[in-house]
Chains A and B, each alone.
Chain A
Amino acid sequence: MAVAAAPTHGGGVADHIHPEPHSFIRRYIFSIDHKIIGIQYIVTAFLFMVMGGLLAELIRVQLMNHSGTFVKPDTFNELYSIHGSTMVWLVIIPLLTGGFGNFVFPLQIGARDVAFPWLNMLSFWIFPVAGLMLYSSFLMGAPVAGWTEYPPMSLLGGPGTSMWAAAIFLIGVSSTLTGINFLVTILKMRAPGMTFTRMPLFVWGQLATAPLLMIATTALGAALAALFIERQFGVPFFDPTRGGSPVLWQHMFWFYSHPAVYIMILPAFGMISEIFPTFARKPIFGYKMIAFSTVAIALLSFMVWAHHMFTSGMAPFLQLPFMILTMFIAIPTGIKIFSWVATLWGGKIHLTTSMMFAIGFIATFTFGGLTGVYLSAVPFDLHAHGTYFIVAHLHYVLVGGSLMAIFAGMYFWYPKMSGRIMNEFWGKVHFWLFFIGFNATFIPMHWLGLLGMPRRVAVYDPQFQFWNQFASISSFVMTAGILVFFINAIVSLRTGKKAGANPWGARTLEWQISSPPPYYNFKKVPAVLAAPYDFAEPLPYRGLEGELDPNVPAPVAAGH
C-alpha cells in the first residue's frame, strides 16, 4: 500500500486544528476546546454535587428522629425531589458524558476535537443555566413528587414544578446535542488505523452511551413538554379526571429514565476497563466480550422500562417479559464483572487511590446489581416497591457504582487534566472514609426496606429509628470523605507532584502526549496498529515520536 498523501477534506474534519486561543475568555470561558469544556463540565457538576449533597444531609438530619421536626413535611418533599434531580441530571450524567467523555475520548481516538466544537460549547452552557433554573424552583415552591414527578402529584405541586420541567427539558437538549456530537466524532474521526476493535474500552462506553443520550433524552423531552403544557395551559394528558392517564407519564418517563440508568453506568464501566489493565499491568481480559456486552446492555435498556411499573397496574402477561428481559441484563453485566476480576488475576497490582476506587466499585456495584436482580422479580418487587430497599438499591448502583467510578477516574485522569498528581495519602483517606461511610449508610436501608419503611416520608415508625440514626451518622462520614476529596483536588493543583506525560504507565493515546495536552492535542495525528492493552508489546502507535520533544513545532492552524 502506498504512503497516503494527506487527504483533503471539507469543513469540520479530523485534522482540523483550531487557532490557538489568546484571550482568557476564549481560552477558559467560552472555549471550543473539548478538553476545557470537559473540565468546565466536571467543575460545574461537582459544584452541583455540593448542593445535592447538602440536600442529602438535610434529609438525613430530618430522619435522625422518627417524628422529624427539622423541616416541615412539604419542605422534606422538596428536598428529596431536588436532591434526586440534581444528582441524576446535574451531577452524574454531566460528569460521565460531558465531563470525562469530552476530555478523554477525543484524545483516546486521536482526534483534535469533537466533530462540532461550537455545538459542544452550546451543550455545556445550557447545563449551568438549566441547573440554576432547577434551583430557582425553590423560590416559587419546588416540585414535591420526587425526581420521577409522577402525576397527579406533580400536577398539584407548586409553580416550581413547571420550572423543574423546563430545566430538565433544557438539560435534555444539552444531552441530545452531546450525544449527536459524540456519536459523529467516534464514528467518523478516529485516527487512521483505529478500527472498532482497536478502540479503548472507554470509547466503547461512550459509543454505546451516545445513542442513549440522543434517543432516550428526546423521549423524556416529549414527556416533560407534555407535563409543562398540562400544568401551564391546562391541556389534559395525565389528569385522570379529564380523560388523561397518569400511567402514561410513567411509561414516557421510564422509557427515558431506564436507559438513563445506563447512561450513568456505561461510561463508568469504560473508565473501570481503562484503570484495571493499567494498574494490573496486564491486558484487559475479554476485550471483545466487554465491548459487546456494553452494546448489549445499551440495546436491552430500551426493552425493560416497565419493570419500574409492576405496581402501577399493568397486565400480568406483560409483567413476565419485562421481568425476564430485566434479568437478561445481569448477563452482560456479569460478563464485565468476571472480565475485570480475570484482568486482576495474576496481575502486578499497583494499589493507587484510583485502583482502590476501581476495586471498591466492583464490590459495591456487584452488590447493587444483585439487589437489582431481586427487584426485577415481580413477586419480590411487589413487596419492596416504594420502600427503602429501592433507595438502597439505587444508591448502591449510582453512588457505589457511578460515583465510585467517577472518583477512580478523577484520580486517574487528574494528572492529565492538570499536570499534577493528586495527593495519594489524602486520596486513601478519602477512599476509606467514603467506602465505609457509604456502605454503613446504605446497607441498613435494605433492612429498613424489607421491614416495610416507605421511602419519601418525613416521619416514620419509631421501630426504625436506630438504623436511621446509624445511616445518618454514617452519611456524615461519607460526606467527610467527599470533603477531603474536594480539598485534595484544589490543593493538589498547586502542590501536587508533577505528573509528566504518563505517570501511570498507561497505554492509551491520551497518555502519550504532554500533560495537560496542548490545544491541538497531537502534533501529528498518530496511526494505530493494535488495541492498546498488551503490556508485553511496544506501544502500537506510529507518528508520536515528536510529541514530547519541545523542539518539534506545534502544527499550524488551517484556514481561519
Chain B
Amino acid sequence: MAISVSQIPHGDPNVDQLYAETRDLRLNGFLLFMVSDLVLFSSIIFAYLYLRNSGQGWPPPGFSRLDVAFAAFNSVVLFGSGVTMHFALENWKHGNFIKFANWMVATIVLGAGFLSGQGYEYWTLYQKMHVSWSGSGIFGASFFTLTGMHGFHVFAGVIYLTVLLLQATNGKYTQHKHFGLTAGTLYWHFVDVIWVLLFSIFYLF
C-alpha cells in the first residue's frame, strides 16, 4: 500500500537510492542471528582448543581416540542432508512441489539418521569406554558439550524442517514468497557447516 513517502527531491543522486534498496529485512536479521550463533559455537570451540592445548596431550592419558571411520560415515549422512536440502529449495523455486516434498523428506530422514548415529556413538563411548559428560575430565566435558550443543541444533532443525514441510503442504508459501523455506535452508546449511568444523577438530586434527 502506498503511503506517505515524501516527494523525492530532484537533483540529488543519493536521495532515493537507499530507499530503493530497502527489502525484506527478515533475511538480514536471520543472517545476523546465525552470526551470533556462530560466535556461541566459536567460544566453546575456543574453550575446547584452549583446554586441549593446556599440556597433557590429546587425547588425555587414559582415553583412546574417537572412532574416525564411524564419524566419517555419520558426517557424510549429515552433509548429504545439506545437499538434499539444497535440491528441495531449488525445486520449490521452480514450482515443483512433489520433488520439493521428496527432497525435504530425504533431508529430515538423513538429519534424524545423523542424530541416531550420534546417539549410537554416545552409547558406545559411555558403555564400552566409560566416557561421560561430567566424569571424564576435560575430554568428556568438551566433547559432549560441543557435540551435544550441535546435536541439539540438529534436533531443533529436524523439527523446524518438519514444520516447514507441513506449512508448505498447507499452502503457506508461494513460489516467490517463501522466506520461511529460505531461513530453514540457511539454518540447515549452518548446522552442516558447523559440523565440518567440529568433525575436523574432534576427529581429524
- List residues of A whose CB falls within 8 A of some B CB: 1, 3-15, 17, 115-116, 119, 176, 179-181, 183-184, 187-195, 214-215, 217-219, 221-223, 226, 229, 233-237, 242-245, 248, 251-252, 255, 522-529, 542-543, 555-556, 558-559
Assembled-state Cα–Cα distance A182/B42 (Å): 23
Cβ contact within 8 Å between A215 and B20: no
Cβ contact within 8 Å between B32 and A248: no
Q: How far is the CB of A113 from chain B (nearest CB, A)?
A: 11
Query: Which B residues lie within 8 Å of A3 (CB)?
Result: 7-8, 10
Q: List 28 A-B contacts (CB under 8 A).
A: A3-B7, A7-B19, A9-B23, A10-B23, A10-B177, A13-B23, A13-B24, A14-B22, A115-B28, A116-B29, A189-B25, A193-B12, A214-B35, A218-B40, A219-B39, A222-B39, A222-B47, A223-B47, A235-B133, A237-B51, A243-B54, A243-B56, A245-B51, A255-B43, A524-B6, A528-B15, A529-B15, A556-B3
Q: Give the segment of B74-82, B106-114, B137-145, B165-173 that binds chain A.
A: B137-145
Assembled-state Cα–Cα distance A119/B15 (Å): 30
Answer whether A12 and B26 are a contact pair too, CB < 8 Å, given A180-B36, A218-B36, A219-B43. Answer: yes
Cβ contact within 8 Å between B24 and A542: no
Cβ contact within 8 Å between A527 and B15: yes
Assembled-state Cα–Cα distance A162/B119 (Å): 29
Cβ contact within 8 Å between B44 and A190: no
B134 at the interface (CB under 8 A from A): yes
Query: Which B residues lie within 8 Å of A524 (CB)?
Result: 4-6
Answer whether A243 and B44 are a contact pair too, CB < 8 Å, given A1-B13, A218-B36. Answer: no
Cβ contact within 8 Å between A11 and B26: yes
Residue of A17, A119, A184, A193 near B28 (CB, 8 A) is A184
Residue of B nearest to A210 (CB): B32
Q: How far is the CB of B153 from chain A (nearest CB, A)?
A: 14
Query: Which B residues lie within 8 Å of A191 (CB)?
Result: 19
Cβ contact within 8 Å between A183 and B32: yes
Query: Which B residues lie within 8 Å of A235 (CB)?
Result: 133-134, 140-141, 144-145
Cβ contact within 8 Å between B6 and A526: yes
Query: Which B residues lie within 8 Å of A217 (CB)?
Result: 36
Q: How far is the CB of B31 from chain A (nearest CB, A)?
A: 9
Assembled-state Cα–Cα distance A251/B46 (Å): 10
Cβ contact within 8 Å between A192 and B24: no
Cβ contact within 8 Å between A252 and B46: yes
Assembled-state Cα–Cα distance A525/B134 (Å): 57
Query: Which B residues lie within 8 Å of A226 (CB)?
Result: 44, 47, 145
Cβ contact within 8 Å between A17 and B3: yes
B95 at the interface (CB under 8 A from A): no
Residue of A5, A13, A119, A179 near B2 (CB, 8 A) is A5
Residue of A nearest to B133 (CB): A235
Cβ contact within 8 Å between A116 and B4: no
Q: How far is the CB of B170 from chain A (nearest CB, A)?
A: 19
Cβ contact within 8 Å between A527 and B25: no
Residue of A nearest to B10 (CB): A1
Query: Which B residues lie within 8 Å of A181 (CB)?
Result: 29
Q: How far is the CB of B27 from chain A (nearest CB, A)?
A: 9
Q: What 10 pairs between A and B have smallest CB-CB spacing?
A: A543-B6, A222-B43, A6-B2, A192-B19, A193-B15, A10-B24, A218-B39, A243-B137, A234-B134, A6-B5
Query: Which B residues lie within 8 Å of A255 (CB)?
Result: 43
Residue of B nearest to A214 (CB): B36
Assembled-state Cα–Cα distance A236/B144 (Å): 12
Residue of B nearest to A213 (CB): B36
Q: How far is the CB of B203 from chain A (nearest CB, A)?
A: 21
Answer whether A237 and B7 are a contact pair too, CB < 8 Å, given A13-B23, A13-B25. Answer: no
Cβ contact within 8 Å between B18 and A12: no
Query: Which B residues lie within 8 Å of A218 (CB)?
Result: 36-37, 39-40, 43
Answer whether A184 and B12 are a contact pair too, CB < 8 Å, given A13-B24, A189-B22, A524-B6. Answer: no
Cβ contact within 8 Å between A192 and B47: no
Q: How far is the CB of A294 from chain B (nearest CB, A)?
A: 20
Query: Which A residues lie within 8 Å of B32 (CB)?
Result: 179-180, 183-184, 214
Cβ contact within 8 Å between B138 and A236: yes
B16 at the interface (CB under 8 A from A): yes
Residue of B nearest to A110 (CB): B6
Assembled-state Cα–Cα distance A8/B133 (Å): 53
